[in-house]
Amino acid sequence: QVQPVESGGGLVQAGGSLRLSCAASGSMFSITAMGWYRQVPGKQRELVALSGESSTSYADSVKGRFTISRDNAKNTVYLQMNSLKPEDTADYYCYAGHLGRSYWGQGTQVTVSS
């Protein structure tokens, strides 16, 4: 059983930066894919950034502003968020995909004030 745990959310002014971290415990092996999704009330959860075995992908809305990185030895993923905008306000969820199953963290809130 893999359990992702997020940290690093908070309140920031527009133009500022935040760094999210997620450590996935419970696996003896390197997790196949890790990434970040976000969700605002009344909308579907959407992909922000995903780091696979050999590639990364980003939502168009965050390209050039957000950077995903991983420490495979620690099964940890980070999301550096720069030039934040009010529309980035959401609950951010860590995702871990491993052995055909999906695991989600509890979420961390990011609020960007204008």
Place of tokens 């009344």: 42
At 9-67, the pLDDT tens digits run 999 999 999 999 999 988 767 788 999 999 999 999 999 999 998 899 999 999 999 99
What tokens appear for 3 in the block?
């359990």
